[in-house]
């Protein structure tokens, strides 16, 4: 009899997360006996101790813990170490190993729409997801600028990776071809927020928002209305999740099933929000 395995996502907040739905569906369709739960975590050190004590087999790490979790792990993959953020933990016989699947999920999503080499990319935010995007875009040959509400954090991130930090007044002069929002602005339930004025958007831009709930954030709606190409957070979310599934199980992820499961739930939520 195969031992049942426990997996989960740790972060704060996590009530909105569709990771449990996505991964539990993937476990079911592949016949992998496991269960995935969401854990709201404010005390990260205690949470990691709990992962060890309970023998939790694998964990997805979300904001605000992607950077801070590194010091609590036993081994870090080279790419995750270079990024300075971990979004995936694999428990290998009590040894907690950290990976970053955000970078592949995000860059694959962008490259499905536009070639990154030689492009000017403005990345909003300075958290764990921003680190993955900055690393990946630079590796792909882009010219990367960072915009962040807290200048000190944005400047520190730019200096660490060899990108540039721009104050809000400098964004127009940079004239980005690609804009990526890695902040939580626009995430459910605060769906009316966006990280910049609509007037900044142009039809020539490719605009990506890593927020996936709601699927159509206010930023993406405004970008589409002005004629820009848009990339929603679903592609990155499922992409990074599929890689997590493969690290945890050793099985090929049922990507399309995972995507359709999350998409159906998001569409159901959108219908409910307008009274359908």
Active site (catalytic) residues: 66
Joined tokens for residue 111:
């490259």
- The CA distance from 212 to 227, in Å, is 21
- Write the CA distances from 246 to 67, 78, 83, 195, 235, integer angstroms: 22, 18, 21, 33, 17
Please list the alpha-helical segments (H only) found in the chain: 19-30, 44-54, 78-83, 102-111, 128-139, 151-161, 171-174, 218-225, 233-249, 255-273
Assess contact for 201 and 223: CB atoms under 8 A.
Answer: yes
Q: Which class for 164: exposed (0-12), middle (13-18), buried (19 or more C-beta within 10 A)?
A: middle
């Amino acid at each position: 009899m195969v031992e049942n395995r426990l997996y989960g996502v740790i972060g704060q907040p996590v009530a909105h997360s569709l990771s449990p739905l996505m991964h539990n569906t993937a476990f079911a369709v592949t016949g992998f006996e496991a269960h995935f739960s969401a854990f709201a975590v404010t005390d990260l050190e205690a949470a990691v101790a709990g992962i060890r004590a309970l023998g939790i087999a694998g964990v997805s790490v979300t904001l605000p813990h992607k950077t801070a979790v590194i010091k609590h792990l036993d081994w870090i993959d080279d790419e995750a170490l270079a990024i300075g953020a971990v979004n995936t933990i694999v428990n290998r016989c009590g040894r907690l190993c950290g990976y970053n699947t955000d970078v592949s999920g995000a860059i694959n999503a962008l490259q499905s729409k536009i070639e990154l080499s030689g492009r000017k990319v403005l990345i909003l935010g300075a958290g764990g997801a921003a680190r993955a995007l900055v690393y990946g875009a630079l590796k792909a040959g882009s010219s990367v600028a960072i915009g962040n509400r807290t200048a000190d954090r944005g400047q520190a991130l730019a200096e660490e990776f060899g990108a540039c930090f721009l104050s809000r007044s400098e964004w127009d002069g940079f004239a980005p071809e690609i804009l990526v929002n890695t902040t939580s602005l626009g995430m459910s339930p605060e769906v009316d927020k966006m990280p910049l004025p609509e007037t900044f958007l142009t039809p020539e831009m490719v605009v990506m928002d890593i927020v996936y709930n709601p699927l159509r954030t206010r930023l993406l709606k405004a970008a589409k209305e002005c004629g820009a190409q848009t990339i929603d957070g679903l592609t990155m979310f499922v992409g990074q999740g599929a890689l997590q599934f493969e690290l945890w199980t050793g099985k090929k992820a049922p990507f399309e099933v995972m995507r359709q499961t999350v998409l159906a739930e998001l569409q159901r939520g959108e219908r409910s929000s307008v009274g359908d």
